[in-house]
């Protein structure tokens, strides 16, 4: 004797519905340049002050410093702040 499994699956008249898809392009503000010096040997992006905004930390070999651009939370950064680190920061 052979068993047979019969499934009854209801299928609606339309599996999908027609909808309108609107593609929007991102809007960018004009660019802003931030001076961070030369001889950069490393960069890290992190929330360094626990304010939920990503800051930019740069190791600057010429200044022997770690330079930081603190995020203002609106897509811009405060001016660079340098922290002396001794020779050859990484």
19-74, pLDDT tens digit by residue? Answer: 566 667 777 777 788 887 777 888 889 998 899 999 988 888 877 888 888 999 98
Distances from the Cα of 8 to the Cαs of 2, 15, 30, in angstroms? 20, 17, 60
73 in a structural domain? yes
58 in a structural domain? yes
70 in a structural domain? yes
User: How far apart, in whole angstroms, are the C-alpha atoms of residue 53 and residue 45?
Assistant: 10
44 in a structural domain? yes
Overall pTM > 0.75? no
**Total of domains in the chain:** 1
67 in a structural domain? yes
User: How far apart, in whole angstroms, are the C-alpha atoms of residue 61 and residue 46?
Assistant: 20
31 in a structural domain? no
Strands 81-84 and 40-46: unpaired
45 in a structural domain? yes
64 in a structural domain? yes
Q: Judge whether 37 and 44 are in contact, CB under 8 Å.
A: no
Domain that residue 48 falls in: 40-84
Of 41, 36, 38, 39, residue with least CA distance to 56: 36
């Amino acid at each position: 004797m052979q068993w047979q499994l019969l499934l009854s699956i209801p299928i609606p008249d339309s599996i999908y519905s027609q909808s309108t898809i609107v593609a929007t392009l991102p809007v960018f503000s004009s660019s802003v340049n931030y001076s961070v010096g030369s001889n950069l040997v490393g960069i890290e992006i992190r929330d360094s002050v626990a304010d939920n905004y990503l800051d930019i930390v740069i190791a600057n070999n010429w200044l022997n410093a770690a330079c930081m651009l603190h995020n203002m939370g609106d897509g811009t950064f405060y001016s660079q702040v340098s922290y002396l680190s001794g020779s050859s920061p990484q």
